[in-house]
Amino acid sequence: MISLPITSFTALFTGALILLLTIKVVQLRRRDGVVLGDNDDRALAKAIRGQANAAEQLPIALILMGLAELQGGGTLLLLLAAALLVIGRILHAIYFAIHGTHWRLRFYGMWMTLAAQGVLLVILALTVLS
């Protein structure tokens, strides 16, 4: 049996986050009866973009994490990357899900997401090349 506890816990938290972001989009669509698009509603457009961004960023990060963990990447570095990723995605999600929050949450959230992906790339490269 293959065990990927760090990747599994990260996927659990980030999967729940995507679910919450999706629920937010569905609620806004139902509120205004919007079936497709955003009906020029800024709050809905922002919610859609936040959910889509998570759906774009998280798969590659989880793939990198899983491969690095399978290859025996360092546990501490993997935990650091997982923490950066989860905290970054939470900050990013807050900006997109709660209207009126400061843009810095988005900035730091995306920065942390990219930093996590960078760490994961380095871990994977080191494990593959060693």
Residue 62 has which token pair? 């989880």
Q: Can you list the domains of the chain with their CATH numbers? A: 5-129 (1.20.120.550)
Q: What is the pLDDT along the chain (130 residues), one digit of tens a residue?
A: 889 999 999 999 999 999 999 999 999 999 988 989 899 999 999 999 999 999 999 999 999 999 999 999 999 999 999 999 999 999 999 999 888 899 999 999 999 999 999 999 999 999 999 8
Residue 109 has which token pair? 């959230």
**What dihedral do alpha carbons 100, 103, 105, 110 form, nearest 10°?**
130
Query: Are 84 and 13 within 8 A, CB to CB?
Result: no
Estimate the crossing angle of helix 42-70 against helix 103-129, to 10 degrees: 20
Supply the pLDDT for residue 130: 85
